Structure 1
Amino acid sequence: MPTLPPERAPQPEHASHRHREVAESFGADPERYDRTRPRYPRAMVDRIVAASPGPDVLDVGCGTGIVARQFEAAGAHVLGVDVDARMAGLARRRGLDVEVASFEAWDPAGRKFDAVVSGQTWHWVDPVAGAAKAGRALRSRGVLALFWNVGRPVPEVAEAFAEVYRLVVPDSLAARQGTVPAGNGYAALHTQAADGIRDAGAFTGPEQWRFAWEQPYTRDEWLDQLPTQGAFTRLPQARLEEVLTGIGAAIDAAGGSFTMRYTTLAVIATRTDTA
């Protein structure tokens, strides 16, 4: 298994965890978020469960409970923590036990867990304070697992999407992502997460796991998901409609559907016996 290199990167002022207003924008339509967001590979979930010393899992930034439900299906007992009461409300209606707080401010109240997991959300957590809090919440040999889905369509569809973003929202994250190879935008997130884990001093050196998979989307399925992505959650409605019209036309030109090639990237560390 590849081990992430120990180089440190300074935390920039624009680091995502400094901009919680973006994180809290996802709760504007929790039902759509829960319905459309991609899940995570069962192989990864099973591997985390197998590496954990027991079944008790803390899901940081649980949102509507997408990750939590996958871990429950694998036999885990899950407690969720999320900063957004709207997202937490939907998760509770789906049967998940959720506490509303930022993870840095959340109180474990003496509770211990066998795994702390976070899907697509750890970049909203201070990487050093978050890793230290996870270390205090984990039992000896417990697992910290931080993971993100990175997706990109086949090249011709990716370029058509990027052209829409350049024309309609040229200053957006989506437009910038279209100019770099898939996954490059997440490299800094992984580095920051790994640095925070090392600085916490409670874990073995972090490893990186990778899982490749694909998911087909129809035009309507993709247009349903697009407004839940961070680049678009705070767009004015008129500008969002322009984006959806352009992306819809690009998918129509591709035959009405396309395949997204996903890679799930995970940063994994184990709490030491001596921490």
Structure 2
Amino acid sequence: MPPVSTEPSPSSGREPHLLRQVAESFGVDADRYDRARPRYPDALIQRVIAASPGLEFLDVGCGTGIGARQYTAAGVTVLGVDPDARMAEVARRTGIDVEIGNFETWDPRGRSFDAVVAGQAWHWVDPVLGAGKAAQVLRPHGLLALYWHVFDPPSEVARPFDDVLARVAPDAPLQTPGFGLQQANLSRAVEGIRTAGGFAEPEQWRFEWQRRYTRDEWLDHLATTGQLTLLGPGDVATVQDAVGTAIDSLGGEFTMHYVTLATAASLSARP
């Protein structure tokens, strides 16, 4: 079974950053989002820090502060930017400083940063305008680092999810096309960086890791994904029941295989 992703599909025919209804749906239950969404591999966090010229970061689309807290724990000073006040409030409760706004139009008020990072969020940003804005707020040799998770659940879990979702939401704009989706997000980001100019050639990184999920933990996560945040409570329950039954058949828990894909580019020396 190929890895799947719970994010917008290029097959929708629209650039992900234009799907604002989806982008703004995650704050419906921001506390659940913060509780259920996966963290980032430590190897990624440490590599970003090592590649940055300093320890003042801007976290674009910081959401509830999942990644920002990991950087803070590693000694980084983080300012978050997010368009959803509900998500930002959760981040603030955990000690993260967040400003509300879309990154492309956000006013940095003369501030600059050693790194601009975005986890599971850059597909909601115009890839060219976003890279151009990052170049404006980065210090000399500053780093732009963007990354996404790919989920690879066992077929016994993935197949019931796909089947029931096709029944309850056959016309949903989101699909689960697999590894190719996040690779498409990565490629779109790389091309945006190249088009915007001002950066060295982007590097591409890959991190593989695992996490064990109980039935309740995975159903909690599913409720935060793009497919389900736009469904009614009854349809969400139908999906969760089918997936929960599948997990029960595996003994009530399973191992999720993750791949985290990243691209990173340093600001070129200005003449």
TM-score, reference length from structure 1: 0.91
Aligned match of 1:107: 107
Provide, for residues 169-202 of structure 1, a one-character-per-residue CA deviation record: whole Å limited to 9, x for no partner. Answer: 333466x42xx4x311112211110111001111
Moved more, 254-263 or 112-121: 254-263
Contact 2:64 2:91 (8 Å CA) reproduced = yes
Aligned match of 2:179: 183
Q: Deviation of residue 94 (structure 1)?
A: 0.9
Residues 42 and 217 of structure 1, relative CA distance in 2, 3 Å threshold: same
CA distance in 2, matches of 1:160, 1:236: 19
Aligned match of 1:89: 89
Q: Deviation of residue 167 (structure 1)?
A: 3.2
Q: Which amino acid aligns with 1:32?
A: R
Q: Deviation of residue 216 (structure 1)?
A: 0.9
Q: Deviation of residue 234 (structure 1)?
A: 1.0
SS in 2 for 1:259: strand
Aligned match of 2:132: 132
| Equivalent residues in 2 for 1:1-275, closer than 5 Å | 14-172=14-172, 176-177=175-176, 180=177, 182-274=178-270
SS in 1 for 2:105: coil
Q: Deviation of residue 165 (structure 1)?
A: 2.5
Contact 1:161 1:250 (8 Å CA) reproduced = no
SS in 2 for 1:249: helix
Which runs of 5 or more residues in structure 2 are unaligned? 1-9
Moved more, 248-257 or 153-162: 153-162
Q: Percent identity at matched positions? A: 55
Matched positions, count: 261
Q: Which runs of 4+ in 1 moved over 6 A?
A: none
CA distance in 2, matches of 1:78, 1:122: 17
Q: Which amino acid aligns with 2:180?
A: N
Q: Deviation of residue 21 (structure 1)?
A: 1.9
SS in 2 for 1:75: coil
SS in 2 for 1:184: helix
Contact 1:49 1:55 (8 Å CA) reproduced = yes
CA distance in 2, matches of 1:104, 1:19: 15
Provide, for residues 79-135 of structure 1, a one-character-per-residue CA deviation record: whole Å limited to 9, x for no partner. Answer: 000000111111111111110000011011111100000000000000010000000
SS in 2 for 1:235: coil
Contact 1:118 1:146 (8 Å CA) reproduced = yes
Contact 2:149 2:182 (8 Å CA) reproduced = no
Q: Which amino acid aligns with 1:107?
A: D
TM-score, reference length from structure 2: 0.92
SS in 2 for 1:261: strand
CA distance in 1, matches of 2:183, 2:50: 26
Q: Which amino acid aligns with 1:213?
A: W
Which runs of 5 or more residues in structure 1 are unaligned? 1-9
CA distance in 2, matches of 1:122, 1:253: 36
Moved more, 112-121 or 18-27: 18-27
